[in-house]
């Protein structure tokens, strides 16, 4: 589920941007993946909201969906991984502009 970034290929490799980090719980382990590379946090949050609506309809939902800052080079390296368990990947959430749902962590709704 990665790679549908709006700015893929348009920015230099060292350029900072944002991605959606999906955290999944699998048999007592946490794994994650990055979904899309975006030039701005606002675009990443809009994509996260669309993805949330899509995934809510299915049986498998991530335990968390965060917007995190990431370099293009780091995203490209990580993009090849599926079910990553590394602990050194970007995981600090970016607050949404305008105070809506602001905070460093946005929990996924299981309700």
Query: Looking at the domain assignment, is residue 108 inside a domain?
Result: no
Query: Looking at the domain assignment, is residue 8 inside a domain?
Result: no
Q: What is the pLDDT of residue 48?
A: 94
Query: Looking at the domain assignment, is residue 50 inside a domain?
Result: yes
Provide the residue range defining the domain that includes 32. 16-95
Query: Looking at the domain assignment, is residue 102 inside a domain?
Result: no
Residue ranges with strand state E in the chain: 16-26, 29-38, 64-71
Q: What is the pLDDT of residue 19?
A: 92
Does the reported pTM lie above 0.75?
no
Query: Looking at the domain assignment, is residue 110 inside a domain?
Result: no
Residue 64 φ/ψ, nearest 5 degrees:
-145, 150
Query: Looking at the domain assignment, is residue 49 inside a domain?
Result: yes
Please, which pLDDT band fits residue 13 given cuts at 50, 70 and 90? Answer: low
Q: Which residues contact 26 (CB under 8 A, 6 or more apart)?
A: 83
Q: Nearest CA to 47 among 25, 18, 24, 27?
A: 18
Check pLDDT > 60 for residue 4: no
pLDDT digits (tens, 9 = 90+) for 35-94: 999 999 999 999 999 998 898 888 888 888 889 999 888 888 887 777 787 777 777 777
Strands 29-38 and 16-26, by their bridges, are: antiparallel
Q: What is the pLDDT of residue 89?
A: 77
């Amino acid at each position: 589920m990665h790679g549908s970034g709006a700015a893929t290929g348009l920015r230099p490799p060292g350029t900072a941007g944002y991605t959606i980090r999906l955290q999944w719980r699998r048999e007592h382990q946490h794994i994650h993946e990055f979904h899309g590379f975006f030039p701005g946090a606002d675009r990443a949050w809009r994509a996260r909201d669309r993805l949330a609506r899509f995934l809510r309809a299915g049986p498998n939902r991530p335990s968390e969906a965060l917007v995190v800052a990431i370099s293009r080079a780091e995203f490209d390296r990580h993009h090849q991984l599926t079910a990553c368990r590394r602990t050194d990947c970007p995981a600090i959430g970016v607050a949404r502009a305008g105070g809506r749902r602001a905070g460093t962590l946005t929990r996924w709704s299981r309700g």
